[in-house]
Structure 1
């Protein structure tokens, strides 16, 4: 049985939730944190993913890749990439498919990994964390993505899951997942008839999203959505970092922009300072040996921070107004404003949101975990073995999509099928009159709705097997077009129909004679003739390419495991050397002959010298061999010690048992004496009573 789990792939940190124990649990990682850093570090022998990657990011800056979801499925020549480049310390290059790859030094050579491979590496780590925590079968995942993701980016997210060995049952918009969680877990507070109008605001590490939803018990519909792709916590961090970078130029005569590690340390300190200023009006800023052995110190007030981020605060109203317009509502018609995302802890941002909506904000959802919880519930709804309460939800289609074909019998060569603002999942059936096999193409048809630089082509299909009926030049072909639950545009089914005479029962009016024969009439009806073969070409990876990436990821996992096992064996050998040497002088000193001590001490010294010289970077097998060589003698001495200890324990147990038996015998003897004494007193007492009665 697969354990349903949901993943909120954050730009800075990722949260995992799992449906189990009749509820939704947040999964903690190997160091018991409820979120895991979203980055991958590449080293000389292995990868460092999540916590281990974060721990060595400063020393391995040029080989550490973060901001994973900002480049997933993005083209190298996309205008957005020009904005994103400054957030990366690793070189990013264009790959053969026009996408983005990270160029790192790994296993002693320069290697390139596509954005999809990088996301897959990280998701595989998340799967491993979940498996170790739940001990369950981890195969199904619900992954959330930003609202603005195009078909190509959503396909890349799906491919990343598959490369990691997971089945993406649904790719869902992040803020929609949070809204689903609200609808499910706050069900007792929701109306059953007239829906509640709720604004969901999510301002995270790198982006700002707003959705307006109509929510009632067991049902949710997203009425409007909007976003600002370049508005988040990292923009606040950069504003603070740039302020101090300019200050240090004057104050200390150093330019941290010339040293990537120095600027990264300023950026890290800026993030911490931002968090301190959320609860305090002033905070110090100190970094030791920042650059050229210079210690720097300064401070910042909350008012100064608000001044530096004023350009950001002036944009807060735009997504809200756009989402309200899409929903056909005004701010005063909103019943509740649910706020999530780490950046919403900034006081000036909360004040601005309150001012725009004209009412108090609500923080009933967990700001960091709401999306992951919603994802886990959605994944559970797809599980055949997990029972969940019924909940229906429809999302908001952000981009208009039309389907195109070559004109044959039709007057038009395209049809707008899924307009912006429509709900999905959604299905439409169209009929085309075809003379033979034909092609269909889905395109984004309103450029103004799209992120700048988005390719218009969504997908292409070849439909084969079209054969007109005898004597006809064309035949009707019905196409079932679908914007599916993951937001993918597909042709779900296609078949030809032909007109045939069929017999139809004639319904008689009034009373009928039971013995009368039923009457039929012949009518012309369209009936299915045959299914068409659908050959699709989407933004998803070709099966062969995906399989190569799966094999590559599996081999890297095995290499990482070998390195981890080798390091574990090395540490075990080092620990055994020091432990055995210490015990020879203490616990084991009476259990080894002088010859054995001399021989073993020499072997320990030799093993230690080897460990810190030729054996410093050796193989797992050699560490095991050295350990077993020492243990062959050490275990004999240890066996003698343990045998003596067991003798002592046995003697102690026998002594305790004898003492307990003696105490029990004495207790029983005392009880017998007390019983005899009691009987004697009772007899005397009985005679006196008799004498009294007789009187």
Structure 2
């Protein structure tokens, strides 16, 4: 099992998977480790990721980017307006919710709101769902199995509606988000969990992280131990990133070209996109060399443009961006509340834009005040996705990960407001202060003057990226009764995903309940028991004077008392009298009852449950349409490839099939191939279905089948003939007279085998004689199928005869004299040597003396060599 972590970036997204063996970055279909975060529509096709980037220049009117910046936002805000200007397709407001909706030309799935020209509207949640589906497909391809669980990162400036929009997009994409985590928290986890041996046990060290991405910058300071990491401060600028430096270069060259070549590049989208792409290259070049040149052919109005820029010149015009980075670092240091003389251990820089020398220099200069050294031990482009994958493994029950805690904080303060329907003055107070640890649960108690509205909103409007439109988070209508003696307790939860919800609402009221309680009875003193004054504890009996202290009492361990004599069971009347007496009294108790709560719509510009369901169904239809289009394209490509391949192979000069078909057959086949090629590029084929291409190919395969059959028979026939001849000769060896290997086989069986082999040999020679005069372009008489059939028949008759097992040899009984000799030899062999090295013979009863072996019928004397030998000479 595996789970994924996704670094959801504005320009590119990175996917990592956690599986047995560690964390791996997934490569997409073109082997890139980062996938462009864009979606493009072209007719009835969708292009996502790499394929969208490849057609973006030609299909810019239907290509959507900046998905990270637009999701979950209302259309009528300055922030959204600035982002919409960067897109080349129209962004409008949804009539119902006012959220951002993108209009593109797409005819893949019929929609009720689709215009006559094929214009279709997609919410930003639906577009992000398309990207998530593609990214999870990349993870599944890497793991070779479906992957559904993931943790996704979002910028710290994301508001509650934007986080809910991410969860809605996951629902539409049919994936399960385990956690929506802030980017700085994912970086902290990726940094701390692999350094547990280096980190201290108790006194934490403090490390700063500077993340300069494509569209935003975040500076965070975190305290680390070997078991946890606590975020201390976070400072973010949602409008400061690498693309702002690209904007400066684009504007600089656009003004230069307007003066030098009299062309306004920014007036049209296509030349503007080409210029931006070249400026991105220049920014990367100036990170390593002091100057760079720009050359673009036919940028606009068939005009070739040229330009140069120095690194110092770029840093001069980028001075405002550098100053904003410095201010952001100073703010993070101030919010961390460092003690006098306390320094940071290190500063880790991540994000692609930190490679700009000017940005790195200002970070080094600012953090040198607190003694921190800039380091690059983390992978600048992949550390966030790795942290997300680690967190997904920690949250998944299928993995066992080292215990490590990441404690994040709320970067925006939350206020709660109570509005009563009885005309009372609304009450407002801070519910979650800035810097409070999340997740958290806050409770508030107030009187119940009737139905009321509980709303949660952000405190600091200026700190929000989207402005006043995003202040209100959620609002609930609580149906409380008109009872001034009762109180309402409402619990509001800030989840780990950063979303806000009303956890519970209860009505608390003190009521008197009649209950039976026991009556306390005072014991009367008896004659044997002296009366004890009230408030005086009874005296403990002191030990006797002549009783010595035991070891048990010395150790303050009570000795085991003697078991008392078994008491007689009390009489029934006595037991009945000893039972406690009960009486009914009125007891005050707090009664809790849940109150009905209704979430008010129109807050947060999100999707309703019905809209999410409709978008999920539409996404499933589009996914099925993409699959059909891919299969149709494969069928068309297969037909086209078959046409070109067959035409070259039947060519009368160089084709390998020219000898296996008559000229009239090849000419007719060539006419059909030319007609099919014309049909492939016709309008009729564009409107045809997948089955039409499959049918066309099958027709061509049927017409060319004879030619391919003859070629195959011509090439394979000699091999099959040689195999059959070798089998015939092999079986004939069985019937050769004098062959000891097959001497045990009966003559009748040998004759049967020989007859079968001879008949097969005669049949083969006759068929070869008939086949020899035939040309290559004629149907063969002797086919490979016939040869295989004949070989099977031959094996069925001859192989059992050839494999007949030999009979087992008979074992002859030994004579009595031979048995006695064997016994003597066995006894001498088992006799141990004596002390002098000679063997001591044991008497064998009823044994006859062994006779000397005879040589040529006469007794021979044994001659022993002087040399020690293991054998004797005769």
TM-score by length of 1: 0.87
Return the alpha-carbon distance in structure 2 between the equivalents of residues 690 and 595 of structure 1. Answer: 97
Stretches of structure 2 lacking an aligned partner (at least 5 in a row): 108-116, 520-536, 541-563, 565-574, 729-863, 870-874
Distance 1:243 1:431, change over 3 A: same
> How far off its partner does 1:490 sit?
1.1
Return the alpha-carbon distance in structure 2 between the equivalents of residues 310 and 524 of structure 1. Answer: 74
- The equivalent residue for 1:477 is 488
> How far off its partner does 1:192 sit?
1.8
Distance 1:282 1:657, change over 3 A: farther
Return the alpha-carbon distance in structure 2 between the equivalents of residues 311 and 652 of structure 1. Answer: 86
1:461-476 alignment runs, 5 A limit? 461-464=476-479, 474-476=485-487
Conservation of the 8 A alpha-carbon contact between 1:71 and 1:115 = yes
- The equivalent residue for 2:500 is 489
- The equivalent residue for 1:32 is 31
Determine which of 644, 665, 668 is the counterpart of 1:599: 668
SS state at 2:76 partner = coil
1:626 aligns with 2:696: yes
Query: Which range moved further: 592-601 or 285-294?
Result: 592-601
SS state at 1:460 partner = strand
Superimposed CA distance per residue, residues 185-224 of structure 1 (whole angstroms, 9 cap, x where no aligned partner): 2323222211121111100111111111112122121111
Determine which of 190, 197, 211 is the counterpart of 1:188: 197
- The equivalent residue for 1:354 is 364
Conservation of the 8 A alpha-carbon contact between 1:440 and 1:461 = yes
Superimposed CA distance per residue, residues 523-559 of structure 1 (whole angstroms, 9 cap, x where no aligned partner): 9676563333443346342100111111222222222
Determine which of 297, 308, 322 is the counterpart of 2:331: 322
SS state at 2:704 partner = helix
Query: Which range moved further: 455-464 or 543-552?
Result: 455-464
> How far off its partner does 1:588 sit?
3.0
> How far off its partner does 1:503 sit?
9.5
Query: Which range moved further: 435-444 or 293-302?
Result: 435-444
SS state at 1:453 partner = helix
Determine which of 637, 649, 655 is the counterpart of 1:571: 637
Query: Which range moved further: 199-208 or 371-380?
Result: 371-380
Superimposed CA distance per residue, residues 619-650 of structure 1 (whole angstroms, 9 cap, x where no aligned partner): 21211111111122334543444454444566
SS state at 1:205 partner = coil
> How far off its partner does 1:95 sit?
2.1
Determine which of 658, 665, 673 is the counterpart of 1:589: 658
Return the alpha-carbon distance in structure 2 between the equivalents of residues 587 and 691 of structure 1. Answer: 85
- The equivalent residue for 2:233 is 224
Superimposed CA distance per residue, residues 7-44 of structure 1 (whole angstroms, 9 cap, x where no aligned partner): 11111111011111231111111111101011111212
Return the alpha-carbon distance in structure 2 between the equivalents of residues 511 and 205 of structure 1. Answer: 83
1:169 aligns with 2:171: no
> How far off its partner does 1:565 sit?
1.9
Conservation of the 8 A alpha-carbon contact between 2:222 and 2:229 = yes
Distance 1:273 1:655, change over 3 A: farther
Distance 1:181 1:430, change over 3 A: same
Distance 1:490 1:574, change over 3 A: same
> How far off its partner does 1:115 sit?
2.0
Aligned length: 662
Superimposed CA distance per residue, residues 144-176 of structure 1 (whole angstroms, 9 cap, x where no aligned partner): 111111111111122112111122221111122
Conservation of the 8 A alpha-carbon contact between 1:40 and 1:53 = yes
> How far off its partner does 1:82 sit?
3.5
- The equivalent residue for 2:22 is 23
Return the alpha-carbon distance in structure 1 between the equivalents of residues 382 and 366 of structure 2. Answer: 25
Superimposed CA distance per residue, residues 256-295 of structure 1 (whole angstroms, 9 cap, x where no aligned partner): 1223211211110010111111122222211112112222
Return the alpha-carbon distance in structure 1 between the equivalents of residues 156 and 103 of structure 2. Answer: 28
Distance 1:383 1:510, change over 3 A: farther
Return the alpha-carbon distance in structure 2 between the equivalents of residues 329 and 654 of structure 1. Answer: 92
Conservation of the 8 A alpha-carbon contact between 2:93 and 2:101 = yes
Determine which of 132, 156, 161 is the counterpart of 2:165: 156
SS state at 2:136 partner = helix
Query: Which range moved further: 137-146 or 583-592?
Result: 583-592
- The equivalent residue for 2:384 is 371
Conservation of the 8 A alpha-carbon contact between 1:409 and 1:433 = no
> How far off its partner does 1:404 sit?
2.2
Query: Which range moved further: 610-619 or 415-424?
Result: 610-619
Stretches of structure 1 lacking an aligned partner (at least 5 in a row): 659-688
Higher Rg of the two aligned structures: 2
Distance 1:634 1:533, change over 3 A: farther
Determine which of 309, 328, 334 is the counterpart of 2:344: 334
> How far off its partner does 1:249 sit?
2.0
- The equivalent residue for 2:61 is 62
Distance 1:265 1:503, change over 3 A: farther
Distance 1:423 1:693, change over 3 A: closer
Conservation of the 8 A alpha-carbon contact between 1:147 and 1:173 = yes
1:415 aligns with 2:414: no
Distance 1:653 1:79, change over 3 A: farther
1:609 aligns with 2:619: no
Higher relative contact order, structure no. (Cα contacts within 8 Å, ≥ 6 residues apart): 1
Distance 1:94 1:649, change over 3 A: farther
SS state at 1:197 partner = strand
Distance 1:198 1:608, change over 3 A: same
Return the alpha-carbon distance in structure 1 between the equivalents of residues 14 and 253 of structure 2. Answer: 31
> How far off its partner does 1:53 sit?
1.0
Distance 1:153 1:653, change over 3 A: farther
1:72-87 alignment runs, 5 A limit? 72-87=71-86
1:535 aligns with 2:601: no
Conservation of the 8 A alpha-carbon contact between 1:206 and 1:229 = yes
Conservation of the 8 A alpha-carbon contact between 2:345 and 2:373 = no
Return the alpha-carbon distance in structure 1 between the equivalents of residues 132 and 582 of structure 2. Answer: 62
Return the alpha-carbon distance in structure 1 between the equivalents of residues 32 and 672 of structure 2. Answer: 42
> How far off its partner does 1:409 sit?
13
Conservation of the 8 A alpha-carbon contact between 2:419 and 2:425 = no
Superimposed CA distance per residue, residues 626-679 of structure 1 (whole angstroms, 9 cap, x where no aligned partner): 111112233454344445444456678899999xxxxxxxxxxxxxxxxxxxxx
SS state at 2:630 partner = helix
Return the alpha-carbon distance in structure 1 between the equivalents of residues 704 and 518 of structure 2. Answer: 95
> How far off its partner does 1:615 sit?
4.5
- The equivalent residue for 2:837 is none
1:445 aligns with 2:459: yes
Query: Which range moved further: 449-458 or 141-150?
Result: 449-458
Superimposed CA distance per residue, residues 74-122 of structure 1 (whole angstroms, 9 cap, x where no aligned partner): 2222121233233222222222122222222233522222222222222
SS state at 1:314 partner = helix
- The equivalent residue for 2:99 is 99
Distance 1:449 1:655, change over 3 A: farther
Return the alpha-carbon distance in structure 2 between the equivalents of residues 94 and 257 of structure 1. Answer: 25
Conservation of the 8 A alpha-carbon contact between 1:40 and 1:49 = yes
Distance 1:217 1:525, change over 3 A: farther
Distance 1:179 1:597, change over 3 A: same
Return the alpha-carbon distance in structure 2 between the equivalents of residues 435 and 372 of structure 1. Answer: 50
SS state at 1:209 partner = strand
> How far off its partner does 1:371 sit?
0.9
Distance 1:642 1:189, change over 3 A: farther
SS state at 2:304 partner = strand
1:555 aligns with 2:621: yes
Return the alpha-carbon distance in structure 2 between the equivalents of residues 458 and 489 of structure 1. Answer: 8
1:11 aligns with 2:22: no
TM-score by length of 2: 0.70
Superimposed CA distance per residue, residues 327-347 of structure 1 (whole angstroms, 9 cap, x where no aligned partner): 212796211111110000111
Cα RMSD, aligned residues only: 3.5
